[in-house]
Amino acid sequence: MVAKKISGRGRPRKFDLDRAVATAKELFHQRGYDSVGVAELSQVMGITAPSLYAAFGSKSQLFERVLQDYVRTDGGWLPAAIAQAETVEGSISCLFECAAEAYSANPLQLGCLVLDGTRNCTDERVCQRSAEFRQATRDLIRERIATEFPEQAEMLANYVFTILMGLSAAARDRRPKAELLSTARIAAAGFSAHIQDGHPQSVNRT
């Protein structure tokens, strides 16, 4: 990662890097990686294309910074949600409801950037990098579940993550928040039923 310069020798930059990243984040979140062009990015940032490239290197490197910023700020509710409740059951219930809330909170940034920002993306490396961020979230969920259900953690985490992707897709389809919330509650009840009823062994066979 490039070190941030507090002050340097040359001509000072006339725009704020963090604000530029935030602007790019809004656009990428709104329409996805491929659908946002460098021309629009630089225009909304109030700079020209060469300034954007001098500051970030390329469109994909800018997106990388956007993803990092996204998980640190906008995505902060997720680790908070799964760490809050005392039981795994409570954590997942909270996770689903928080997701329904977060994914539909802003009509201009529906769903999750990590989950849907690179759907049908043509840049293979960008897709892969985005997939790594998804895997990190999946791991986080699995480790939380493993504290109570180590045998079924992988399988249950896959279920939970699939629900999150469904909620994000529904949000991006402009389904209303109330609908996401009711779906989240049913999904949470399904999780609860599965860990309480007669499913003590791993069903997943690789």
Near DNA in 57-86, by CB under 7 A: 58-60
204-to-152, 163, 164, 189, 195 alpha-carbon distances in Å:
8, 17, 20, 20, 14
Q: In this chain, which of 21, 24, 27, 36 binds DNA, going by CB under 7 A? A: 36
End-to-end CA distance of the chain: 37
90: contact with a second copy by CB under 8 A? no
> What is the nearest approach in angstroms of DNA to the Cβ of residue 165?
25
1: contact with DNA by CB under 7 A? no
Choice between 55 and 93, CB closer to a second copy: 93
Choose the one of DNA, a second copy, none that binds residue 37, judging by a C-beta under 5 to 8 angstroms depending on kind.
Answer: DNA
62: contact with a second copy by CB under 8 A? no
Instruction: Answer left, alpha or beta for residue 38, where phi above 0 means left and psi between -120 and 50 means alpha.
Output: alpha
Q: In this chain, which of 44, 47, 121, 140 binds a second copy, going by CB under 8 A? A: 121
16: contact with DNA by CB under 7 A? no
- What are the residues whose beta carbons fall under 8 Å from the beta carbon of 122, sequence distance 6 or more? 34
Instruction: Note whether 100 and 187 are within 8 A (CB).
Output: no
Among the listed residues 12, 21, 8, 26, the one whose alpha carbon sits nearest the alpha carbon of residue 52: 21
Q: In this chain, which of 77, 90, 134, 140 binds a second copy, going by CB under 8 A? A: 134
206-to-39, 107, 115, 155, 191 alpha-carbon distances in Å:
46, 40, 24, 11, 21
Token code pair at residue 182: 């009711």
Choice between 47 and 169, CB closer to a second copy: 169
Choose the one of DNA, a second copy, none that binds residue 32, judging by a C-beta under 5 to 8 angstroms depending on kind.
Answer: a second copy
Euclidean distance between CA atoms 74 and 21, whole angstroms: 13
**Which parts of this chain interact with a second copy (CB under 8 A)?**
31-35, 115-117, 119-122, 131, 134, 155-156, 158-159, 161-170, 172-173, 175-176, 178-180, 182-183, 185-187, 189-191, 193-194, 197, 203-206
**Which parts of this chain interact with DNA (CB under 7 A)?**
5, 7-15, 34, 36-40, 47-51, 53-55, 58-60
